Amino acid sequence: MIEAGETEGALDGPLRLVAEAADAGVRLDRFLVGRVDTLSRSRLQALIRAGCVRGSAGTLVDPGCKVKPGDAIEIELPPLEAGSPEPEHMDLAIVFEDAHLIVIDKPAGLVVHPGAGHATGTLVNALLGHCGDSLRGIGGVKRPGIVHRLDKDTSGLLVVAKSDVVHHGLSEQFASHGADGRLSRRYLAVAWGVPLQSHGRIDAPLARSQSNRTKIAVVRGEAGRHAVTHYDVLDTFDDPRGKPLASLIDCRLETGRTHQIRVHLAHIGHPLLGDQTYGSHFAASARRLDGKAQKILEALGRQALHAAHLGFEHPVTHKPMSFDSPLPADLAALVDALRTQ
C-alpha cells in the first residue's frame, strides 16, 4: 500500500498488487482504492478504462470486474500528457493553506483551469507555480487539485486539494451537496427586481440549452439534472423615483450545477446585474439607475455574483473549516451606489 502523502509522481515503475482470500468477488476499482491510499476511486476508474491496469490474463478495462484470490494486478501510471498546464507565478489571495489543501479567494476574470481559449494564465497555472510539481496529476492532469469551479467572472472562495486523498475526501463532500452537514456554500448576488417572497426555494432542473449549447436552461423531464437553490433577500434598492429596482440576495446551494444561481434567479424573473448571458433582456432596467450607479454597472463588466462563504470538513484532520469573504471592491461599490441613489 502506498503511504498517505505520496503522489502518483512518487511511484517508481509499475505498482504490483496481489489479491488475497478476503478480496474474493470484490470489484476491481474497490480492490484498488483499498490498497492505494493516494488515488481516488474516480481516478483509479479512469486509469482502468485507459488501459493502465493489467491482470494475469491481460489488460483490465472494466472497473466492475471481480478479482479472485491470487490475482496479480499491476498499475502502470501514464507519464504526464503533452500540453499539461505549466507553472506560472501569479499573486494569489490565499485565505488558508496547510500541507493538505489551499483555500483561494479568486478574483473576477480569473479562469479556474486551462481550456479552449485559455491555455495559460489560469488558477491552475498559478497553483502549479505556488505549489510546484507536487500538485501535478492530483484529480487528473488537466485540472490538478481542482475539486469545484467558479465561473471566470464570479469571484470568491474556492478550495484546492494537494493530494489525491484530500481530493477524494473533498469530492465526496461536494458530491453530497451538504446533505450530510459537512459542506456549506453561500453566494451574494445583486439581482434585478425584488422577489415577491423574502426567502424561498427554487427547484428547477437544469441542462444544456438545445438552442445555444454555451448556455444552461431550465428543462423538464428526464433531460434535466436536479438543481435546488435557497435564497434570502438581504436588502432591496429603489430607483430615484422610489420604485423597487434591485435586490441583494443570499443564495445557498443545495446542488452545484453549472451557472445554477444565474439561471435559477433569471428563471424567477430576477437575473443578475451585469449578466450578459442570462440577463441581457433587462438592459432597459439600467436606464432607471442614476448616473453614478449606471457608470459603476457599466464598468463592472461581469455578473454581480460572489462566493462569500465556504465551509467543509477537513479530509485529514476532520475538523470543520469555515471561511468568509466580503464583497470585492467592484461589487461593494455597486451596492453602495444602489443604496445611495
For this structure, is 62 an active site residue? no
Q: Which three cell numbers stand for residue 88?
A: 506560472
User: Do the Cβ atoms of 132 and 138 come closer than 8 Å?
Assistant: no
Burial class of residue 238 (count of CB atoms within 10 Å of its CB; 0-12, 13-18, 19+): middle
> 3-state DSSP: the chain helix, strand, coil percent, rounded to 5?
25, 30, 45
pLDDT score of 115 = 67
User: Amino acid letter at 287?
Assistant: R
Domain with CATH 3.10.290.10 in the chain: 8-75
270/191 Cα distance (integer angstroms): 6
pLDDT score of 12 = 42
Burial class of residue 5 (count of CB atoms within 10 Å of its CB; 0-12, 13-18, 19+): middle
Nearest-CA neighbor of 313 among 201, 180, 196?
Answer: 180
Nearest-CA neighbor of 303 among 156, 188, 154?
Answer: 154
Residues 168/174/178/181 CA torsion (nearest 10 deg): 20
CATH 3.30.920.30 fits 94-176, yes or no: no
Instruction: Give the CATH architecture of domain 8-75.
Output: Roll (3.10)
pLDDT score of 185 = 94
pLDDT score of 83 = 54
Catalytic residue selected from 151, 153, 164, 330? 151
Residues 18/19/22/26 CA torsion (nearest 10 deg): 150
**Total residue length of the chain:** 341
Domain with CATH 3.30.2350.10 in the chain: 94-176, 184-340
Nearest-CA neighbor of 301 among 149, 155, 91?
Answer: 155
The tens place of each residue's pLDDT in the chain, 341 residues long, gives 222 222 333 344 567 788 888 788 889 988 887 676 556 677 788 888 888 898 888 899 898 999 988 888 988 876 544 457 788 888 999 999 999 999 999 999 998 877 655 678 889 888 888 888 777 666 665 677 888 889 889 999 999 998 888 988 998 898 887 778 899 999 999 999 999 999 999 999 998 887 776 789 999 877 788 999 999 999 999 999 999 999 999 999 998 888 999 999 999 999 999 998 899 888 889 999 999 999 999 999 999 999 999 999 999 999 999 999 999 999 999 999 999 98
CATH number of 184-340: 3.30.2350.10
Residue 49 CA, distance from chain mean position: 24
Q: Which three cell numbers stand for residue 98?
A: 496547510
